[in-house]
Amino acid sequence: MKHHKLLSLFLAAIIPTGSIFPISVNAAVTGDLDGDGVATADDLSLLQGYILGTKELTKAQSEAADINGDGKTDVYDVVQLRKTILSSERTIKFTAVTKRYTSGYKSDIKNANTEGNGVAVTSCSELKTALSPYFEDSVINSQLETYNDAFFEKSVLLLKPVYLNPANYQKKRVTTTESCGCSSSYAGIYTTKNVTSYLNIRKEHSASSESIGRIPPDSTITVTAGDGQWAHVTYNDISGYANMDYMQKVSEPAPTYEFLPDIKFDSVKYSDGKLNITASEFKASAPVGFAPALLLEAVIDKKDYYATSTKWDVTITVSPADKYDYPLAKAHLDTVGWEMQAAFNAAASITYYGQKPDMPQDADHSLEFYADFGFKNGKGNCYVMAAMFCEMARLLGYDAHLISGRVPLLQGGYGPHAWTEVNINGSTYVCDPDFANETKRNGYMITYGQSGTWKYTKDDVID
């Protein structure tokens, strides 16, 4: 059913911030000066600024700033607030990047498993120490150019090298037989042998067959099958057959992989002097190659890092990749381009199709059901559009989920609706292709409660 949905217009410029977040309510959390419901480094910065005379506090904030309850706001409250923050569990904002290396790493990196400890790096010397066991100087110097002294004045780098064993991702070679009787067991890379002028590429498996190309001496040839006498060859984009008496195998075929793995940080959480980082493995976007060495990195603001003599313990938990197949979504990305915005636009541009017996609108059907309907028919409702985008986003390596819920209707009440949630660096975004389709407004990477959008009520996650 196509709804006439009500735009949720939060006029932040007109409504005073204090009326949205009353300090008397949010200050129930000890040390929460800025009214966001948690004691953080921002509150500490505000309190320190007040003590130094560089920042002002409201009356309510001044009352909340008396952390130790002695009737005064002074340096002792700063000390107490720091202790409060250190004893409080919290999520830390971060910026993450994963770097992939096909060279420039040492053999010791093979001991760097996906699970286990990372390290919090606070200086160039610490960075070099953390990388030296695993990477060559060329990689280390490149890192030091990015993370220099100026960087460490304001930021802390969370770091973990990871080695991905290619054998765990390679497809097993299966021997096949061509209709002509040639076997793929002969496949590989060959070079010419005992050839003084050239080796003919024949049209058929016969020395009397027409020559359709020539292979010079000392050339490299790709062979896909053979029978011991004749080989299926490709050279300079010419495919045919060559006499194996004049060829010598130099290597097996290049490996193929179930998927090309990559890993990204999902969340950084602090508790009792420890950082617990969650990360997830996913399929790398085409057309990159297999990279056995990865360097997981996350940058946090230095004000969020309170370790002094004893550094924070950094534990990283990596979730294995879901081996999403989604062949229709993959084919669609091959057409529109392997890029997030292009995927969203493609999902939002299908023909709206609702109030039909074959077009359900509920959480009782699967992600694949809705997405396949859209990819096959080029039409669908909000569930279909969101499911199409969700599948493509997952193939692009994003943590995406199909959400079933409700939005207000102009005639009153609520109507069923579906959208996609995308989690990036600990932040949740709404991607709503149907919103873009119906309103011609931006529905890409918006947030819950954002002005000029629908008011979303989340009921179910469809995975």
The predicted structure's pLDDT at residue 212: 96
Domain-embedded: residue 134: yes
If asked whether residues 164 and 300 sit together in one domain, one would say yes
Domain boundary, last residue among 30, 60, 88: 88
What percent of the chain is predicted at pLDDT more than 90?
49
Domain boundary, last residue among 46, 71, 88: 88
The predicted structure's pLDDT at residue 286: 60
Domain-embedded: residue 375: yes
If asked whether residues 354 and 430 sit together in one domain, one would say yes
Asked if pLDDT for residue 130 goes beyond 80, the answer is yes
Domain boundary, last residue among 67, 88, 109: 88
If asked whether residues 279 and 138 sit together in one domain, one would say yes
Q: Structural domain of residue 440, as residue ranges?
A: 327-462
Residue type at 191 in one-letter notation: T
233-271 CB burial, b ≥16 within 10 A, e <16: bebeeeebbbbbebbebeeeeeeeeebbbbbbbbbbebe
If asked whether residues 231 and 142 sit together in one domain, one would say no
Of 109-118, 162-171, 241-250, which has the strongest mean pLDDT? 241-250
Domain-embedded: residue 178: no
Domain-embedded: residue 374: yes
Asked if pLDDT for residue 360 goes beyond 60, the answer is yes
Per the CB < 8 A criterion, the answer to whether 146 and 157 are in contact is: no
If asked whether residues 351 and 391 sit together in one domain, one would say yes
Tens digits of residue pLDDT in 326-354 = 899 999 998 998 889 999 999 999 998 87
Tens digits of residue pLDDT in 170-217 = 876 767 788 888 998 999 999 999 999 999 999 999 999 999 999 999
The predicted structure's pLDDT at residue 7: 54
Domain-embedded: residue 173: no
The angle at the Cα of 380, spanning 374 to 382, to the nearest 5 degrees, equals 110
If asked whether residues 364 and 416 sit together in one domain, one would say yes
- The pLDDT confidence band at residue 322, using thresholds 50, 70 and 90, is low
If asked whether residues 164 and 203 sit together in one domain, one would say no
If asked whether residues 24 and 62 sit together in one domain, one would say yes
Asked if pLDDT for residue 363 goes beyond 80, the answer is no
Asked if pLDDT for residue 58 goes beyond 80, the answer is yes
Domain-embedded: residue 179: no
The predicted structure's pLDDT at residue 211: 95
pTM beyond 0.75: no
Total domains in the chain come to 4
Per the CB < 8 A criterion, the answer to whether 44 and 85 are in contact is: yes
The predicted structure's pLDDT at residue 353: 87
As a whole number, mean pLDDT of residues 75-82 equals: 80
Of 94-108, 273-287, 301-315, which has the strongest mean pLDDT? 94-108
If one compares 200 and 10, the residue with the highest pLDDT of the two is 200
CATH for 76 = 1.10.1330.10
- The pLDDT confidence band at residue 249, using thresholds 50, 70 and 90, is very high
Domain-embedded: residue 25: yes
Tens digits of residue pLDDT in 415-435 = 899 999 998 766 789 999 999
If asked whether residues 239 and 383 sit together in one domain, one would say no
As a whole number, mean pLDDT of residues 2-31 equals: 41
What percent of the chain is predicted at pLDDT more than 70?
89
Helix axes 340-348, 327-336, angle to 10 degrees: 100
The predicted structure's pLDDT at residue 27: 40
- The pLDDT confidence band at residue 158, using thresholds 50, 70 and 90, is very high
Of 27-36, 123-132, 406-415, which has the strongest mean pLDDT? 123-132
If asked whether residues 369 and 445 sit together in one domain, one would say yes
Q: Which residues, in sequence order, are CB contacts of 450 under 8 Å at separation 6+?
A: 10, 430
Of 33-37, 143-147, 277-281, which has the strongest mean pLDDT? 143-147
If asked whether residues 375 and 431 sit together in one domain, one would say yes
CATH for 362 = 3.10.620.30
If asked whether residues 352 and 444 sit together in one domain, one would say yes
Domain-embedded: residue 176: no
Q: Where are the beta strands (DSSP E) in 65-198?
A: 90-91, 95-101, 116-121, 155-163, 188-192
Judged on CB neighbours under 10 Å (0-12, 13-18, 19+), 403 is: buried
